[in-house]
Homo-oligomer: A and B are copies of this chain.
Amino acid sequence: MTVSDPPELDLPGVYRVEKLSVKAGMPLVLDMTRAVYPHAEVYGDYITVQEHIDVPPAELFDYLSDTRSLGEWTYSMRNFERVAEPGPPSGPGNSDDGLWVSDDKIGDHTRIYTRTVVNAGARTVDYHCAWDQSEHLWMIYLMRVIDAQVVFGKPGSVVIWTNCRHPFYDENGHPETAPAGRPVWVGDFWDLFYAGHLLELRNLKAIAEYRHANGLPIKPDWMR
């Protein structure tokens, strides 16, 4: 049951204690650790934001799993309508609540499509979105609700939210579906997504904690 050390573990770029002692490796690790990091290094290709939210994880997951919750805690997605029923599961334990269309108010007169794929065991909530068309949902907001008791030893939830820089942020892959003369593209805002997503995550925190602290359901009655 012990690990053998096959030759392919001795590859360029692989740092293991057998070949690099803690003492010898320290300069390498210290050099990777900086006082400050440039924006593009931290938030260039991936944008991850995290927050502790003082609400039980099962309730928060249930709320986020409803696509219409985006109409409350996002800055600019509003007026959700369902346009198709739930699709087949994309993996064991996965489900979605159908395809939805809404307005994205940062996009002038833009329609945005969303299919929310969730997994109750892992408490993942993936919002698969796109501006203008629903054939190719390429803007993926990967969220996960973690039990804060497990990772921080305190009540509540931790929400982790990652967004990956799909090439269509830099150039619209479906320009023929865009309204004529629209002055903006969603990818124009990529450099502001760290701040924008953190602001939205804090919206979620403020709304959910307000409801929990006041004995209100996190998922409001009108969503039921």
Contact between B106 and A124, CB atoms less than 8 A apart: no
A84 at interface by CB-CB < 8 Å: no
Binary flags per residue of A5-28, CB closer than 8 Å to B gives 1, else 0: 010110111111100101001001
Contact residue among B13, B144, B168 (Cβ-Cβ distance under 8 Å from A142):
B144
Known contacts A50-B162, A91-B120, A122-B124; decide if A34 and B29 are in contact (CB<8 Å).
Answer: no
Are A1 and B82 neighbours in the complex by a CB distance under 8 Å?
yes
Q: Does A3 contact B (CB under 8 A)?
A: yes
Q: A1-B81, A36-B37 are in contact. Are A29 and B192 (CB under 8 A)?
A: yes
Q: If the complex has contacts A3-B68, A36-B36, A37-B42, are A207 and B164 also in contact, measured as CB distance less than 8 A? A: no
CA distance A216 to B7 in the complex (A): 13
A17 touches B207 (CB 8 A): no
Tell me whether A121 and B93 are in contact (CB under 8 A). Answer: yes
Chain B nearest CB from A72 CB (Å) reads 6
- Please report which residues of chain A, range 77-136, place their CB below 8 angstroms from some CB of chain B when the two chains form the complex: 78-82, 89-94, 105-106, 119-124, 128
25 contacts between A and B (CB under 8 A): A3-B68, A8-B216, A9-B207, A11-B207, A13-B206, A15-B199, A15-B203, A28-B199, A32-B194, A33-B191, A33-B195, A37-B37, A42-B42, A46-B50, A48-B160, A50-B162, A91-B121, A92-B120, A119-B122, A122-B124, A142-B144, A152-B166, A152-B167, A153-B167, A160-B162
